Amino acid sequence: MEDTTFEVSYDESKQADQYEVNSYKRTEATFRSGTTAWIYAAAD
């Protein structure tokens, strides 16, 4: 899978948090490219 990152503001990230259901949580991840970014992953 290719990784694509987007730069978002603090306010945009908070809006995304409100949009996502409780089944997902925001967590920091490092991609194979070495880029570190916030992602939404299953909240298991």
Considering its fold, how many domains does the chain have in total? 1
Written as six digits, the tokens of 20 are 């996502």
pLDDT, residue 31, reads 86
Residue 1 included in any domain: no
Written as six digits, the tokens of 37 are 């970014």
CB-based contact 12:19 (threshold 8 Å): no
Residue 3 included in any domain: no
pTM of the complete model: 0.66
List the chain residues with pLDDT less than 50: none
Q: How far is CA 38 from the centre of its chain?
A: 4
Token match 């194979």: residue?
32
Instruction: Tell me the residue range of the domain where 29 lies.
Output: 10-42
Q: Alpha helices of the chain — where are they, by DSSP H?
A: 10-19
Give the list of residues 6+ apart from residue 3 with CB closer than 8 angstroms, or none.
Answer: 31, 32, 33, 35
pLDDT, residue 1, reads 61
Residue 2 included in any domain: no
